[in-house]
Amino acid sequence: MNSVDLPNYLKIKNDLPKGVNLLAVSKGFGSKSIESLHSLGQQHFGESKVQEALQKDYLLNNKLNIKLHFIGRIQSNKIRKIVENFDFIHSVDSYSKLLKIAKISDEIGKSPITMIQVKLEDEPQKGGMFTDELIGKWDSIKMIKGLNIKGLMTINPKGLSSQENLNLFRKCKSLAESLELPECSMGMSIDWKEAVDAGSTWVRIGSSIFGKRDV
Ligand SMILES: *Cc1c(COP(=O)(O)O)cnc(C)c1O
C-alpha cells in the first residue's frame, strides 16, 4: 500500500516544538510511501515487524541516510536481526532481552540506541515493564556493559480522555527523569499532542501521515 497525507505530515512537522523528533511509522506501507517522505527530508522510520522491515531491504542497504527504529513486540530469537539492522530499539520489555541486546551488540560492534518500554496500566496483552519492576532492576540494568539506554517508551491504553492521556504521559516522563534518561518515546496519531505537552522527545506517528492501514 502506498500513500502519504502530505498536508498532514507538513502540519505535524510544523506543530512539533523544537527537540521533539518525528518518527514516521511506516509499518503496513511500501517503499513508494517511504521514499516520498524521505525525499521531503524525513529521516526516521519505525517498523514493528522484523520480517516486514527486512523485506523493504532497499532501506537497509541503500545510501540514503535513513534511520530505522524497531517499535514492535520483541521476540528473543529476533534480537540478533534487530540489533544488526536497526539504529534504535524502542520496545525492550525485559531484563533478559536487555542482556541479549548487550551480548549481540558486543559481538557485532554495534549498539543501537535503546529505550525500555514501560507499562503504566495493567494491560495483560501489552508488553512493557511495570514501574516497580523497572525501578527494582535499575541498578542491575545500569551494570550491563555495552548497552546504549537513552530513554523510556510507552503506549497508552485506548479510549482515554485527553486529560488521562496527559496524566499517564507525565508519569512516564517523570520516571524517565528520575532515572536520568533524556528520551521519552510517547504519542501516536491520536494522542501525540498530549505526549508533547508531557515532554515527549519522540512521537511515533503512522496513520495520520500514511493513511489508514489494512492490518
Ligand atoms: C503502529 C504503531 C504506532 C503508530 O500508530 P498510529 O496510530 O498509526 O499513529 C506507534 N507506536 C507503535 C508501537 C505502533 O505499533
pLDDT value for 31: 83
Query: Which ligand 1 atom is nearest residue 27's CA?
Result: 1
pLDDT value for 62: 61
pLDDT value for 4: 86
pLDDT value for 59: 59
Determine the residue of 3, 188, 192 to mutate for testing ligand 1's pocket, defined as the one with the most ligand atoms within 8 A of the Cβ atom: 188
Below-70 pLDDT ranges, the chain: 1-2, 57-63, 214-215
What is the four-CA torsion angle of 76, 77, 81, 86, rounded to 10 degrees?
-20
pLDDT value for 150: 98
What is the four-CA torsion angle of 55, 60, 63, 67, rounded to 10 degrees?
120
In degrees rounded to 5, what are phi and psi of residue 113?
-65, 125
Largest Cα span, the chain? 46
Specify the 3-state DSSP secondary structure of 120.
Answer: coil
pLDDT value for 60: 54
pLDDT value for 39: 87
pLDDT value for 1: 55
CA of 188 to the centre of ligand 1 (A): 6
Length of the chain: 215
CA of 50 to the centre of ligand 1 (A): 15
pLDDT value for 197: 98
Query: Which ligand 1 atom is nearest residue 153's CA?
Result: 13
Locate all alpha helices (DSSP H) within the chain, ordered by sequence. 6-15, 31-39, 50-55, 58-61, 79-85, 95-108, 131-143, 162-178, 192-198, 207-210
Q: For residue 45, how many other CB atoms are within 10 A of its CB?
A: 23
Query: Which ligand 1 atom is nearest residue 190's CA?
Result: 7
